[in-house]
């Protein structure tokens, strides 16, 4: 095996190593993305349970305004 063959062999091993590293990194990134999507969905579900919808919120605001008007009429 001459010098050219040795260099080609090392380069090929290095290329395989780099390709392998990129594949591993890509796999890890995909897993992190999936985890973040799941966390985001769970957070949205939790917020939906805690936060009233816009229509419920508006109804509560109307009630408060009516009560304050009644109180001021009595005075």
Token pair 């990194």: residue? 25
Return the pLDDT at 47.
87
Return the pLDDT at 30.
97
Length of the chain: 75
Q: Reply yes or no on whether the pLDDT at 23 is more than 90.
A: yes
| Higher per-residue pLDDT: 5 or 67 | 5
> Model confidence over 36-73: pLDDT tens digits?
999 999 999 888 888 776 555 555 555 555 555 555 55
What is the C-alpha separation between 36 and 42, in angstroms, rounded?
10
């Amino acid at each position: 095996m001459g010098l050219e063959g040795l260099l080609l062999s090392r380069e090929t091993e290095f290329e395989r190593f780099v390709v392998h590293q990129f594949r591993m990194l890509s796999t890890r990134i995909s897993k992190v993305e999936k985890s973040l999507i799941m966390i985001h969905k769970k957070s949205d579900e939790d917020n939906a349970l805690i936060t009233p919808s816009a229509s419920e919120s508006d109804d509560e605001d109307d009630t408060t305004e009516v009560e304050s008007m009644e109180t001021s009429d009595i005075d």
